[in-house]
């Protein structure tokens, strides 16, 4: 199976650590959620105190799983009992691991757009924001040209999807002179400052509770 097909076909997580974390997530699925944070370790690592302050009137469910690829996130949508949640809003922060795997940028963009479609069908078209894939690696960045193509392709694909918008991660995570960096020393995961900036950018896009894009 080619890389494009792998990204598009739902598949369960394979690592024992991911399966253990998956069981923890399944045990903690709430009865209701207003906003779902969905994706890989960049979503999973979001500090609750930050999104709690950014979204004080929303019940937030962090549905992130470290190590997730687009295809494993799609599998989770199909195989975990989350259809009852019916969130009003959804943030998707996903795809960097597919980039790390060497998947073609157009395949990852197509898979992300398909995932948004699956979420819309499951949850009744929540207002959806998809974050572009942040830079990873030391400057100039890992597969930086492919990342640019992927993000641009994704933005074009989602421009045709009802109730879906793009959050530009590069703009959201930009740090001014003397400010704390948005990435940790591994040049992949977000720092607390990075999550603070991302929370502020998402709150600005969503507006007051219930307004949505």
pLDDT tens string, the chain, 213 residues long: the values are 455 557 889 999 988 999 999 999 999 999 999 999 999 999 999 999 999 989 889 999 999 999 999 999 999 999 999 999 999 999 999 999 999 999 999 999 999 999 999 999 999 999 999 999 999 999 999 999 999 999 999 999 999 999 999 999 999 999 999 999 999 999 999 999 999 999 999 999 988 875 555
**Whole-Å CA distances, 14 to 11, 45, 50, 81:** 9, 20, 30, 20
CA 136 to chain centre: 15
Residues facing 205 on adjacent strands: none
Looking at the domain covering 3-203, what would its CATH class be? alpha beta
Alpha-carbon torsion (172, 47, 80, 15), positive or negative: positive
Q: What is the pTM of this model?
A: 0.93
Query: For the chain, what are the domain ranges?
Result: 3-203
């Amino acid at each position: 199976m080619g890389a494009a097909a792998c990204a598009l076909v739902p598949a369960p997580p394979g690592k024992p650590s991911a399966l253990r974390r998956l069981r923890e997530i399944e045990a903690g699925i709430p009865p209701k959620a207003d906003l779902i944070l969905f994706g890989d370790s960049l979503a999973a690592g979001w500090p609750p105190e930050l999104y709690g302050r950014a979204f004080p009137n929303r019940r937030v469910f962090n549905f992130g799983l470290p190590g997730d690829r687009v295809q494993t996130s799609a599998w989770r949508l199909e195989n975990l009992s989350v259809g009852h949640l019916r969130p009003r809003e959804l943030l998707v922060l996903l795809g960097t691991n597919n980039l790390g795997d060497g998947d073609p940028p157009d395949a990852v963009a197509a898979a992300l757009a398909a995932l948004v479609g699956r979420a819309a069908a499951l949850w009744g078209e929540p207002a959806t924001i998809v974050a572009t894939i942040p830079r990873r690696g030391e400057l100039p960045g890992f597969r930086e040209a492919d990342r640019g193509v992927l993000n641009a392709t994704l933005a074009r694909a989602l421009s045709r999807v009802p109730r879906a918008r793009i959050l530009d991660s590069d703009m959201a995570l930009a740090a001014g002179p003397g400010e704390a960096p948005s990435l940790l020393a591994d040049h992949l995961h977000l720092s607390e400052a990075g999550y603070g900036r991302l929370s502020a950018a998402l709150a600005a896009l969503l507006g007051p509770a219930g307004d949505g894009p």
